[in-house]
Amino acid sequence: MDRRVRGAARAPRRDQLGVPLFRVLHRALHRLLDVLRPARVHGERRRADRAHLLRGPAFLVRRHPARRRAPGAPGHQLRGADADGPAAVLEPARRARAAVPPDRTPGWPRLNVSLLAVALVASGAACTRRTGEYVVHRSNGPIAIDGVLAEAAWDRAERAGPFVRSLDGKPCTAQTVARLLWDDDNLYLAFQAEDPDISTPFTRDDEALYTSNVVEIFLNPSGDLRRYDEIELAPSNALFDASFTGRRQGMDLSWSSGARHAVHLDGTLNDSRDVDRGWTAELAIPFANLTGMPRPRPRRGDTWRFNLYRLRQGPGQPGEGQAYSPPMVGDFHALDRFATLRFDD
């Protein structure tokens, strides 16, 4: 028999064996690709979809094999606690696109102008940041005034800061943050200040600390933005305090805050030969000595006005004023820029 005839006679038999084998290999290949292909959510790569990973708490997208999917079954199944998040993000894409109003011409030029306006407003807001309200929590235990902040109560205190430059609200050259707590008798305050060269020429109380390296708090318990107290602390643990009846008016240097205070240095004082890390200041300010108190001690929900500052000038300092709520002028006594202090449990 001719070879071509014999080949033609055997061809149907090869097709009967080859087609099922091809289908089996085709299905196996697709299943392997489904296992190895990384799942995607909005173009983000996730871990490869494996059956054992679906039991974990992390969010995953499971891809069902097309040939095994039941009629009417969804193409993706969301797993994990965050499943509602991606679903909410994906939902707007399914809605019909809103029509462009007839009085507005669609196109990139108008969009670019809008984005530029938003960017300018955002940058302006960043440069004029004004802090609104700080919530001071009640201490859940005694606090030792040693400058170390080792008590667990400080973990409950919210962070005030990092401070910004007082003149323009921009980031500072060295970070400063503060924390506050209170109990029936005292307002507790802690400053943590980065400083590569800790220095101050003052070592005695009530010297002109405000001309050098110092941290400060201004307190207006009545909230009238008139009568207020100023308390400062230097890295040498020298204290300055004064009381005022108005903005820079009626300064009373005989007033004493009665504050207990301590400083901890992470470096050396007045030694520019090394590089320091910073210093911590801690104070306990008795309510009984503050001026303009509406009642002997604050209650939950009471609000005061206050501000926090740091001054870095003198030898080894950049000549920088820092603030929690920046006054945007060269005067720390800008009462209208004070933030709100709210007492809570």
Q: Which structure tokens are listed for 240? A: 């300055």
Q: Rounded to whole angstroms, how far apart are CA atoms 52 and 203?
A: 66
Q: Which structure tokens are listed for 311? A: 């001054």
Exposure string over 198-227, b if 16+ CB within 10 A, otherwise e: bbbebeeeebebbebbbbbbbbbbbbeeeb
Q: Rounded to whole angstroms, how far apart are CA atoms 324 and 180?
A: 13
Helical H runs in 72-183?
84-94, 108-127
What three-state secondary structure class fits 60? strand
pLDDT of the residue at 287: 98
Record the pTM. Answer: 0.64
CATH number of 126-344: 2.60.40.1190
323 within 8 A of 338, measured Cβ to Cβ = no
Tokens 């107290």 belong to 229
Provide the CB-side half-sphere exposure for 9 (13 A, CA): 6
What three-state secondary structure class fits 238? coil
What three-state secondary structure class fits 27? helix
Provide the CB-side half-sphere exposure for 171 (13 A, CA): 4
End-to-end Cα, the chain, rounded Å: 102
What are the per-10-residue average pLDDT scores of the chain (345 residues)? 45 56 72 54 35 34 34 35 33 36 40 42 44 92 96 96 97 97 98 96 96 97 96 98 96 97 97 95 98 95 98 85 97 96 97
Per DSSP, the chain holds a count of helices (H) and strands (E) of 3, 17
Question: Quick one: residue 72, left, alpha or beta (phi over 0 = left, psi -120 to 50 = alpha)?
Answer: left
pLDDT of the residue at 119: 42
What three-state secondary structure class fits 82? coil
pLDDT of the residue at 59: 28
What are the boundaries of each domain within the chain?
3-94, 126-344
